[in-house]
Amino acid sequence: MSPGRKARPWKGERTILLPCVVRPLGRESKVEPFRLFVVLMLVAIVYNLGAALFSLSRSNRDPARDSRNMVRSLTWRISLSVALFGLLFLAWHLGWVQPHSLGGR
């Protein structure tokens, strides 16, 4: 095999192409629970950021209520971000995730 070519998947199996990784899949394609949890956390972080922006931009008759809602949304966003960072660090420490180079070398 030439140095620039990647190995072909086994016959009858599909592959998922990840950065620098080729993983064969069996008949059923299951989403890894950890990856799904990380994606859900990111969606929750973006949702709370949008909710804070909505509270900031909305001109309501009760600015104190909007301010409380904005602070609550930003607090949730910061808490979720710190929790996600800690979870990723713990997953790396336990060997659940592996760092890789971005250049593919």
Per-residue model confidence (pLDDT) at position 80? 96
Specify if 8 maps to a domain: no
Specify if 2 maps to a domain: no
20: alpha, beta or left? (left if phi > 0; alpha if psi -120 to 50): left
Distance, in Å, from the CA atom of 45 to the CA atom of 84, rounded to the nearest integer, reads 10
Per-residue model confidence (pLDDT) at position 3? 57
Number of domains comprising the chain: 1
**Domain boundaries, position 44:** 32-94
Specify if 3 maps to a domain: no
Per-residue model confidence (pLDDT) at position 21? 47
Per-residue model confidence (pLDDT) at position 22? 47
Global pTM reads 0.63
Distance, in Å, from the CA atom of 45 to the CA atom of 78, rounded to the nearest integer, reads 8
Stretches where the chain sits below pLDDT 50 are 17-22, 27-29
